[in-house]
Amino acid sequence: MSSISHGAPQKRRIIPNPGLWLAIIAGIIITLLPLGDTLPVAGQNMIAILVFAIIVWISEAMDYTASAIVISALIIFMVGFAPDMNHPDTILGTAKALKMTLSGFSNSALALVAAAMFIAAAMTITGLDKRIALFTMSKIGASSRSIIIGAIVVTIVLSLVVPSATARTACVVPIMMGVIAAFKVDKHSRLAASMMIVIAQATSIWNVGIQTSAAQNLLSIGFINKTFGAGHSVSWLDWLLAGAPWSLTMSVILYFLARKLLPPETEAVEGGSEAIKKALAELGPTTGKEKRLIGISLLLLLFWSTGGKLHSIDTTSVTLAGLAIMLLPGIGVMSWKEVEKRVQWGTLLMFGIGISLGSTLLDTQAASWMANYVVKGFGLDGLPSLAIFAILAAFLIIIHLGFASATALTAALLPILISLLSSLPPELGVNPVGMTILLAFSVSFGFILPINAPQNMVCMGTDTFTPRQFTRVGLYLTVIGYLLLLLFAATWWKILGLM
């Protein structure tokens, strides 16, 4: 006898998440508001699309990839059926709007992100990332103090050669979980919690220090190039000189915070060194593919760090050349079939549409209109540059609490902030390009909630710490990191000419 009830059928909700209803209603309201003659209809529609996107992303009403497709359709039709910005008597047309929608896919930042994903895949395919992590841990030591330092050092080293925060974390976490098991450390101990929280937080910290370590950095560079021209492009070394000192300082602070807030139950961990050496020995001797990948990675680092100094080849071109070598038959390290199974294609789609969203906000004058409104409404045009940076950085850090993706946050807000900085009076002495870089640093502040960054969620999945433990460490990191941003803005970054 069937146990299934044959009562009145339940009504199926057309839109299951109320966040989607809210996004639709908010978008419609904005399109109907009288925002004045200075804002083109296309610009007003783009603001509506932006608000729709922000609500959808914050509420997680849709998958990010699905939302990218919806946003692209909205741009095509809501901008395409709006009057042309240059010829208000004619409709812009969906063909032109389609070009705007797809503009992100011709941006060099997208090519760099794609290449970075492929390189991260190469590290996983060859197992070089695991070898680097284990080798580094074998040189650190096996006390609880050394393990925490080792977790930070491994993250820093991998940040140089694995250009994906999620991939780096996904590599380190299984190794550290193996260390926990080998050391016979309780999975729910403070030491285990400290190890995993440190991995997640150190990854976010070094997203600031290295340009190629995170997608949001590359998206920021793409917006800078579009707005200010290729002549104002920021090289890999310039970014490193600006961000690495802050990241190094924060890494030291992270170590002491972890030791203070999550003190280990014991300092000595028996059998630790032997366990790491055993895991390293099980990998066997370094393979030919690993050796070739080491050589290619070192060449990439060399060309990245000398771009604009010893040669004029940009970061994207260098990375694509390195990727081409990795895929060459015979001398390469992987096949296309191996790569395509490991690349998150939805992320690339989201990234391309994210660039298009920001570019179209700029092209339809929506970004400049909102920037002028904020400048005049909050009196930013009368404040010194440090105060402006303090306000905008705090704004980004706070609003990041509602975003699960720093890339989405960058796509939504950085074009507006770039327009805002460009509209400030010259007598304030604000360097729009320099401050844009510093605000891009602020975007990586995903320290407080586990949901604020993918690497946090990867570590959260180990069940070694509670959200409360993570947030406690993250709150201290956020406050100290923000104050350190202001200190560097008043000193080191001022010397570099970024302020």
pLDDT tens digits for the chain (499 residues)?
334 444 444 445 555 678 899 999 999 999 999 988 889 999 999 999 999 988 988 888 888 889 999 999 999 999 999 999 888 899 999 999 999 999 888 887 788 778 878 888 888 899 888 888 888 877 876 678 888 998 899 899 888 887 778 878 877 887 778 777 766 778 889 999 999 999 999 999 999 999 988 889 988 998 898 888 767 778 899 999 999 999 999 999 999 999 999 998 877 666 667 777 888 888 899 999 999 999 998 998 898 888 777 888 888 888 899 999 999 998 899 999 998 888 878 878 887 888 888 889 888 988 889 888 888 888 888 899 999 999 999 999 988 887 777 888 888 889 989 999 988 888 888 999 999 999 999 999 989 988 788 888 888 888 899 989 999 999 999 999 999 999 999 999 999 999 8
What count of Cα atoms within 13 Å lies in the side-chain half-sphere of residue 131? 19
Picking from 486, 393, 375, 494, the residue whose alpha carbon sits closest to that of residue 445 is 393
User: For residue 311, how many other CB atoms are within 10 A of its CB?
Assistant: 10
What is d(CA 224, CA 431) in angstroms, rounded to the nearest whole number? 12
| Three-state secondary-structure class, residue 383 | coil
Give Cα 462 distance to the centre of its chain. Answer: 22
Rounded to the nearest 5°, which phi and psi values hold at 307? Answer: -60, 130
Yes or no: say if 307 and 314 are a contact pair by the CB < 8 Å rule: yes
What pLDDT is attached to residue 288?
94
User: For residue 457, how many other CB atoms are within 10 A of its CB?
Assistant: 15
DSSP code at position 109: H
Residue with tokens 């992590």: 133
What pLDDT is attached to residue 8?
45
The pTM of the full predicted model, rounded to 2 decimals, is 0.80
Q: Which two tokens stand for residue 229?
A: 């021209």
Q: Which two tokens stand for residue 455?
A: 């690497």
What pLDDT is attached to residue 107?
80
For residue 230, what is the enclosing H or E element?
Answer: none
Domain boundaries, the chain: 14-106, 108-345
Yes or no: say if 442 and 242 are a contact pair by the CB < 8 Å rule: no
Picking from 124, 131, 127, the residue whose alpha carbon sits closest to that of residue 277 is 131
What pLDDT is attached to residue 351?
79
Picking from 233, 230, 115, the residue whose alpha carbon sits closest to that of residue 164 is 115
What pLDDT is attached to residue 14?
54
What are the pLDDT digits (tens) for 73-93? 999 999 999 999 888 899 999
Residue with tokens 């705007």: 100
Residue with tokens 């209803």: 21
What pLDDT is attached to residue 429?
86
Termini Cα distance of the chain? 76
What pLDDT is attached to residue 42?
95
What pLDDT is attached to residue 399?
85
Picking from 470, 468, 469, 488, the residue whose alpha carbon sits closest to that of residue 480 is 488
